[in-house]
Structures are given as C-alpha cells and as structure tokens.
A and B are shown apart, each in its own frame.
Chain A
Amino acid sequence: MTKAREPHGICALDVMFAAAKLAGRAAFLPYFPIGYPTYDESLRAIEAMAAAGVDGFEIGIPFSDPIADGPTIQAATQVALEQGATVQKCLECVRQLRARGVRQPMLMMGYANPLVAYGTDRFVTDAREAGADGLIVPDLPPEEAHFFADSCAREGMALIFMLAPTSNDQRIDLASANASGFIYVVSLTGITGARAELPDNLTSFIGRLRARTDKPLVLGFGISTPDHARQVRRMVDGFIVGSALVRAGGEGVEAVRELAGSLVAAIRG
C-alpha cells in the first residue's frame, strides 16, 4: 500500500491553486490517457511532464464510445483499449506514478459506464487509495451526480462539473453549488481537439462565469500551444491541454516532454 500524501483530494487542489496564484499564473494540468501508445510509454510520458513542472494531471480512462471527444483522443483511447487498458490498470498506473515520486494532484477522467461497471463507490475508494485526488466524468451533469457524490464527499475527493458557453445562469449556479475542487470550463461549443486559435469571445465568457461563481475555473478544449497558454494564464485559475499532448504522445515521450516544457515555460515567462 502506498503511503498517503498529505494533503490529498480537494485540499491538494486548493494548495495547487494557491501556489499558482501566488506565482501570478494559472495552473497547468495536462490530460493523458493510460495505455497510449502503450501502457509503459503513457507512464513515462506522465512522469516526464511531472518532471517538467506541470501542476496537476487529468489521467484519462479509455472508453469505447467517447461522445465528447474529437478524432485525436478517440483514436488514442481506441489504441489504449486494444493495448488492454482497463479501469483497474488505470488505477494501478496512478499507484505506480505515486510510487515513482509523482506528487502533483491527479484527477481521474473517464466516461460514466466503465466507472459504473467497476462500481461507483468501489471506484472512488480505490482511486483515493491509489493516490488520485478527484474525478471528472464528462457525461455526468450535476443532475446525475448522486451516482458519485456521497463516496467523493466521504473520501474528500473532488467531483468536477463542467460549464460550457451554452450554460445559462441557472446552470452556472447549479454547477457552482455542487462544485468541489474547481469548475471545468469548456472553452467552446464543441468536442475536444487542438485548434489553431482560441475562441474570440473567451474573455466575456469567463467574465460571465466570474460574475456568478467564486470557484476556481479551469479552462479546457482547444488549448494547444504556448501562445494559447500565455493568453489564458491570467484569465483563469488553471487550464488543460489534451489533444495536442496526446498527438505528441504518438511521436514519443520526448515530444511530450518538449511540448509540456514549452507550456510550463510559457505560463512562467
């Protein structure tokens, strides 16, 4: 059994945001799926990013039918499934990363069905024990949170909800009232995937959210380059890069290390 880190869960995220805020920048949380391009390489990619100084992780649990994902993550998670990725192996991976000294907060990101199949309560307990700090389920709106809410509260794990440009005031209030850890802000009306430009109405969208919630805001979807990172580093409390890093992962661990390093440099510059 791994020794428990202190702090863990929601507290670990609070500490992460406080440290980034002190440095006057947003926290950077890369997304990477377990099992892509192989189990071993995904572990090494995450370790390389940890060493490059990222602030936290979204650890992707592959699913056969990822309806919120674009072609890059669809293809990568398909490869991961062919490599034999399972929920069990994803948890094992977190355990190994902790054993190898990765200290940053880690959020498990996976669609509802594999987690339900594993057992929601058992999943939250085992994820906590493995060393994860929270949970992002892209097809679980606050209305259906009851599937995970009690277990997460008991284990002190963050249960992350999303808001999108289409979310109205009522839904912003709903997510805010239920949020623990942070709110995942979907930057655009669409699915995941690298984009050349950030959406031009981003400032007003973030402003609209800030006016109704004081929860930390973490921006994701479409953020791909150091230039994007510079644009958002003072706008939000954190940001996520997924598809661009996954694409780099296809080229090898070195490419991931390089892109993650340039993103870290961009927010610290």
Chain B
Amino acid sequence: MSELYIRRDLTDLPDARGYFGEFGGRFVPETIMPALDELDSAYAEAIADPAFHEELSHLQRTYTGRPTPVTHARRLTEALGGAQIYLKREDLAHTGAHKINNALGQGLLAKRMGKRRIIAETGAGQHGVGTATAMALLGLECHVYMGTVDIARQQPNVFRMKLLGAEVLPVESGSRTLKDAINEAMRDWVTNVETTFYLLGSALGPHPYPMMVRDFQSVIGMEAREQIQAQAGQLPDACIACVGGGSNAIGMFHAFRDDEGTELIGVEAGGRGIDSGEHAARFADLNISRPGILHGTRSYVMQNDDGQIMETHSISAGLDYPSVGPEHAHLRQLERAWYTLATDEEALEAFQVLSKLEGIIPALESAHAVAEAIKRAPTMPKDSLLLVNLSGRGDKDLDTVISVLDI
C-alpha cells in the first residue's frame, strides 16, 4: 500500500464546527444544513478508506499527469540577479490548471455518495473546465453556472465546457461574475439538494468545503516540497501563490506549514491599484474589507459601510472575488502567511516576461504570483530560493491580453 494521498495532522484545523480560529463556520439556509452534515460524514468516511486514496491517486497519475514537475526558471533568475526562482507547474496538469485536483477528488466523492447530478460555479472557467472534464471521465451529469461578464472574457473555456458535455448556465444577476455564479449555484443546490452534489471550486463556502478543497489541493505542496529538496537541496525561503478564493495557495502552503524558514506569500489582485478602489485585494484595503459573512463562511469580505458586498475588479477572472477562503484569513491573523498584491499592469508585465524568458505562458491569475517573484527576487541573495505556484496556463487569456496589449 502506497502512502495516503491526503495526509492530515490531528492538529490541523478546522475544528468540528468548521472554524479556523475565528474564521469559517456554516452560514447557510437550513435547507442545505443536512446536506453539509451528509457531505462531512461522507468525506470523513472516504478519507478513512485507503481505496479512496488509491483510486484518486491512480487517476491523478494516469489521467491528470501527476506529479507535475518543478522547473528551475534559469533565465528569469539570471535576468533578476537574485533568488533562484522555481515554478511548480500546475499549468501542466490535464486541463491546464490545478482545479482538476479538486474536481476529481469531489467527483469521486459524489460518485461514492450516489449523487449523479453535479453543479459547479466558475469564474475564469478553469474550475468549470476541470469539473466538466472530471464529470465526462466519471460519467456524471454536469451543470456550470458562470456570470455573463466572465462568459464574455473567457470564451475558449465556455466552448471547452460545452464540448466536454457540460451545460453552461449564464448568470445575469449582480455583478455577473464569480460571486453571482456562486449565488446561483447555491440557489440551485437549495432547490435540488436531494439529488445534487455541489462541486465548489475554491477553499471557501460553508464547512466542510474549505477543508475538503484544501485537502484535495494539498498534493501541490506535498509534491513540490519533495521535488524542491531533491532538485535544489533546500527548502524554499518563500512559497508564492496567487489568491482569489485561495485554493491553489492553500494547496501549496499546507505542506510547508511547519517549515519555519519558509515564508508563505499570497498575492491578491490589485486591479487598477488600491487607490482606484477597483481591485480584489481583500487583505490590502482595510477601509472596505473587514471580517464578514459571504457564501456561507466568515472571512474577510469587501463591503460598503452597510455590509453590502462590493463589486471587485481584476483583469483575471479567477481572482475577481470579494471574499477569500477562511483559512487564509486565519493564517494571516497568525502571521504565518503574508498577503500582498499585484496590479493588472504588473500581472500583464509578468505574463509577458515569463513567456519570453521561459517559454511558459502563465494564466493571468498565476502571473500575479510571478509578478511578486519579480519584485522580490532581486532583493534576495543568489543562494536563496523562491517557489512560485504556477497554478495554470495562459491560453485561455489570450483574447484578454491581445485586446489590452495591442500586440
């Protein structure tokens, strides 16, 4: 029997009520509370069953293409003249982003639970594509909610989802982005809860989702921690990942939680800059972001004085979300992780630099993490090491980038 695919320590949060310190919990209509209990028990049962680990691990090796490599970004490192930059290549996972890790995990769980109708929300379309792919593989029915603003800026992913047999349901309410797609998916779940599995795509929402999504994504950090030691002979001085809801970041950070010498850096979407008010930097702008409740969990939420949720802006659809996973809020409060931001402009610059110097076109989301490495590396000695989670590839963003850059 191989090692368990998902490894957890007894000391790991959340607690039984789904709290990471003062963040998390379950703030949902009564109608879906029993379904959350059912999901919680089914998940506990699944991860106590070695066969579940084996099945997921097998699919990840033979279908997703795991482990994904760690690449030494030599030319980028040279150009910056400081810390060695390594990239964890989630862009090379099947479907081109880390989202497939969670989609397969929850998909197998849905199948175990006998649920055949799967719903999901998507922002950038990567979780929608990951889910549609996993459901095609597992033979389950798939419906994906997507805001019409996101549909317009992520056309290739909309087409992919349809090809994969999923139904894409346009969402016209509110800001017509990820937040509203989640609202609509939750309304669907409230209505069809007895037959439906809600395959939530990020480490947010009511308990047990933040825990479950983190567990399914923690493979990123577990692999990377071994790979970086084998390739570079040391642990990184810092792990850097972009943070929308925060699933790729928490998946990377989790394996390094006890490595005191490794800083954990989350990069939020700075949009058009904090002063513009048009951004999605929940931790950077405490004038409009404070602890609150959105989509079933207590975390930092961008809101006006009256507690109405604010519309956010980012060039990357996947980071364009007014709240953040509760475990990130907790890690920040503990000062175990630090959060910074990259603007649209910085992300676009990083997008081009990585393409030209390394032959890797990153997703605009991941380009935010690359931007932070570009800022940080020159200030660090050459024997130090930055590990960047390259959470997805940028093919889906070409239309957006072409229209902005006038290439």
Chain A residues packing against B (C-beta within 8 Å): 63-68, 70, 74, 81, 86-88, 111-118, 138-141, 143-144, 161-168, 171, 175, 186, 189-191
Contact = CB atoms under 8 A, between A and B. Distances in A.
A171 B308 contact: no
Contacts of B26: 141, 143-144
Contacts of B293: 111-113, 116, 139
A162 B32 CA distance: 11
B28 to A, nearest CB: 6
B27 A140 contact: yes
B194 interface: yes
Nearest to A168: B34
A139 B29 contact: yes
A115 B193 contact: no
Contact of B34 (A86, A112, A166, A186): A166
Nearest to B179: A65
A113 B190 contact: no
B308 A167 contact: no
B64 to A, nearest CB: 32
B25 interface: yes
A74 B190 contact: no
Looking at chain B's contact residues, the main secondary structure is mixed
Contacts of B291: 116
B309 interface: yes
Contacts of B173: 74
Nearest to B189: A67
Interface stretch (B153-161, B298-306, B326-334, B392-400): B298-306
Interface in B268-326: 290-296, 301, 303, 305-309
Nearest to B33: A141
A65 B174 contact: yes
A218 to B, nearest CB: 14
B35 interface: yes
A109 to B, nearest CB: 13
A189 B31 contact: yes
A190 B306 contact: no
Contacts of A114: 306-308
A138 B307 contact: no
A113 B294 contact: yes
A138 B29 contact: yes
A154 B180 CA distance: 37
Contacts of A88: 306
Contacts of A63: 307-308
A113 B32 contact: no
B30 A161 contact: yes
B305 A67 contact: no
Given A166-B30, A171-B30, A189-B191, 19 more contacts: A64-B309, A65-B174, A65-B183, A65-B294, A68-B190, A111-B293, A113-B292, A114-B306, A116-B293, A116-B307, A117-B292, A139-B28, A140-B27, A141-B27, A143-B25, A144-B26, A144-B27, A168-B34, A171-B33
Nearest to B308: A64
B341 interface: no
B342 interface: no
Nearest to A174: B33
Contact of B30 (A87, A117, A164): A164
B220 interface: no
B187 interface: yes
B171 to A, nearest CB: 12
B26 to A, nearest CB: 6
Contacts, number: 116
Interface range on chain B (Cβ under 8 Å from partner): 35 or more
B243 interface: no
A115 to B, nearest CB: 7
B312 to A, nearest CB: 12
B119 interface: no
Interface string B87-98: 000000000000
The 10 closest A-B pairs by CB, nearest first: A117-B307, A114-B307, A164-B31, A162-B30, A190-B191, A86-B306, A64-B308, A68-B29, A112-B293, A67-B186
17 contacts: A64-B174, A65-B179, A67-B183, A67-B187, A68-B29, A112-B27, A116-B291, A139-B296, A141-B28, A144-B25, A162-B29, A164-B30, A166-B34, A166-B35, A167-B33, A167-B34, A186-B29
Contact of A190 (B190, B301, B309): B190
A64 B27 CA distance: 16
A81 B190 contact: no
Contacts of B294: 65, 113
A171 B36 CA distance: 12
A268 B326 CA distance: 50
A87 B33 contact: no
B44 to A, nearest CB: 17
Given A113-B294, A166-B35, A67 B29 contact: yes
B31 A166 contact: yes
A88 B26 CA distance: 26
Contacts of A163: 30
Given A65-B174, A65-B309, A117-B303, A139 B27 contact: yes
A86 B303 CA distance: 13
A186 B31 contact: yes
B274 to A, nearest CB: 21
Contact of B301 (A113, A141, A164, A168): A113
A113 B173 CA distance: 19
Contacts of B307: 63, 87, 113-118
Contacts of A191: 187, 190-191
Contacts of B191: 189-191
Contacts of A68: 29, 31, 187, 190
A162 B34 CA distance: 13
